[in-house]
Chains A and B, each alone.
Chain A
Amino acid sequence: MAAMDGVNVELARIFASKEERRQRLARLPFPEKVKAVVQLQEMTATILRSRGKSVRPWSVPTLATEIQ
Chain B
Amino acid sequence: MKRTIEVLNGLEKEGVFARYAIGGAMGAIFYTEPSLTFDLDIFVVHSPQENEHDVRGRRRVDCIGRVVTRPSGRETASQCIVIDGVPVRFLPAYNSLVQEALSRAQDTTYENIPTRILSSEYLVAIALQTGRSKARERVRILREQAKLDIRLLADILKRHQLEGRWQQWTE
Q: Which residues of B contact A55 (CB under 8 A)?
A: 38
Is there a chain B Cβ closer than 8 Å to A31's Cβ?
A: yes
Q: Is the CB of A37 within 8 A of B145?
A: no
Q: Is the CB of A60 within 8 A of B1?
A: yes
Q: Which residues of B contact A36 (CB under 8 A)?
A: 34
Closest to A38 in B: B1
Is there a chain B Cβ closer than 8 Å to A54's Cβ?
A: yes
Q: Is the CB of B37 within 8 A of A37?
A: yes
Is there a chain A Cβ closer than 8 Å to B90's Cβ?
A: no
Closest to B78 in A: A54
Q: Which residues of B contact A34 (CB under 8 A)?
A: 1, 26, 29, 34, 110
Known: A30-B30, A54-B74. A23 touches B108 (CB 8 A): no
Counting chain A residues whose Cβ lies within 8 A of the other chain, the interface size class is 20 to 34
CB distance from A36 to the nearest CB of B (A): 4
Is there a chain B Cβ closer than 8 Å to A56's Cβ?
A: yes
Secondary structure call for the A interface: helix
Is there a chain B Cβ closer than 8 Å to A25's Cβ?
A: yes
Chain B positions 26 through 62: 1 when the CB is less than 8 Å from some CB of chain A, otherwise 0: 1001111111111000000000000000000000000
Closest to A34 in B: B1
* Contacting residue for B86 out of A23, A25, A44, A58, CB 8 A: A58
CB distance from B9 to the nearest CB of A (A): 16
Q: Is the CB of B33 within 8 A of A31?
A: no
Q: Which residues of B contact A25 (CB under 8 A)?
A: 33-34
Is there a chain A Cβ closer than 8 Å to B85's Cβ?
A: yes
Q: Which residues of B contact A64 (CB under 8 A)?
A: none
Q: Which residues of A contact B78 (CB under 8 A)?
A: 54
* Contacting residue for B111 out of A31, A40, A54, A58, CB 8 A: A31
Known: A30-B108, A33-B29, A59-B85. A41 touches B38 (CB 8 A): yes
Task: Tell me the B residues contacting A by CB distance below 8 Å.
Answer: 1-2, 26, 29-38, 74, 77-78, 84-87, 108, 110-111, 145
Task: Tell me the A residues contacting B by CB distance below 8 Å.
Answer: 22-23, 25-26, 28, 30-31, 33-34, 36-37, 40-41, 44, 54-60
A-B contact pairs, 15 of them (CB 8 A): A23-B33, A25-B34, A26-B31, A26-B145, A30-B30, A31-B2, A33-B34, A36-B34, A37-B26, A37-B29, A37-B34, A37-B36, A54-B77, A54-B78, A59-B84
